[in-house]
Amino acid sequence: MVWHQFKKNRLALAGLAVVLLLFAVAIFASLLAPYSPTAYDLNSILMSPSKLHLLGTDDQGRDVLSRMIFGARISLSVGFVAVSIYIAIGILVGAVAGYYGGWIDIVISRIIEVMLCFPTFFLILAILAFVGPSIYNIMIVIGLTSWTGIARLVRGEFLRLKDQDYVAAARVSGASDRRIIFRHLLPNALAPVLVSASFGVASAILIESSLSFLGFGVPPYVPSWGGILSASREYMDVAWWMTIIPGVAIFLTITAYNLVGEGLRDAIDPRMRQ
């Protein structure tokens, strides 16, 4: 039923097509890239797009198309790993708060409110300044600082569902708290989490690109869209392709995930079904 409703949204289908294309590019990057993304060619520095280099070269003679293709791996890896981390934390924390309530809910809610007081991006910057920039640190830090939204969603769903008749029947039958949480309540509370996860991937990709642009992301030799943008700052007047191409890629990727998220939200909402 959800898929049938989702298919009616042409923009969401277009976004899904872009997401699947990005997955294919990331998986088959080694086959699709015409050059090594780290190969230097001092004779081809800042070469404009041509038959030899379809998207031109950067300030060190590296093929921009190859770096863009391999950069898709970085962006998708950061997006999905970071989102997986904070979804796992958010589900666990939100489920405990919503199911048990009382002082447990009060303590967890205060912790969430304290976390929300800090701007996420600047908190990530501060942490990375201490632990050092790397692809793994970025994934972990984004995951550890972005779980509050998921926790609030799951907590709200559990508060709404825990007094339902099927939960009372499970308690009467002797089901443990763990079984009630993970077998009865959680499956019915996942719909808004899936929608939030789709938006979260887009947000994580944007954060990674921003960090790489500022020099706090992956090392310069690792191909990433934000890194290409960062290297283009000194050559914007002579190498437009280094700015436009990664910028468009980031824009299309984030837009695609947001369209998929909106499509899922509308498809899951029973009020939108015809």
Candidates 184, 255, 216, 223; CA nearest to 74 is: 223
Residue 191 maps to a domain: yes
pLDDT digits (tens, 9 = 90+) for 226-270: 888 888 888 888 888 888 999 899 999 999 999 998 888 888 765
pLDDT digits (tens, 9 = 90+) for 54-109: 888 888 888 999 999 999 988 888 888 999 999 999 999 999 999 998 899 999 99
The dihedral sign for the CA sequence 117, 121, 124, 129 = negative
CATH number for position 177: 1.10.3720.10
pLDDT confidence of residue 88: 93
Residue 48 maps to a domain: no
Q: How many CA atoms lie within 13 A of 254 on its CB side?
A: 15
Residue 110 maps to a domain: yes
Mind giving me the DSSP string for the chain? -HHHHHHT-HHHHHHHHHHHHHHHHHHTHHHH-SS-TT---GGGTTPPS-SSSTT-B-TTS-BHHHHHHHHHHHHHHHHHHHHHHHHHHHHHHHHHHHHH-HHHHHHHHHHHHHHHTS-HHHHHHHHHHHH---HHHHHHHHHHHS-HHHHHHHHHHHHHHTTSHHHHHHHHTT--HHHIIIIIIHHHH-HHHHHHHHHHHHHHHHHHHHHHHHT-SS-TTS--HHHHHHHGGGGTTT-THHHHHHHHHHHHHHHHHHHHHHHHHHHH-GGG--
pLDDT confidence of residue 271: 54
Candidates 58, 75, 81; CA nearest to 225 is: 75
Residue 47 maps to a domain: no
Residue 9 maps to a domain: yes
Q: How many domains would you assign to the chain?
A: 1
Domain that holds residue 120: 2-41+53-272
Residue 228 maps to a domain: yes
pLDDT (average), residues 161-186 = 88
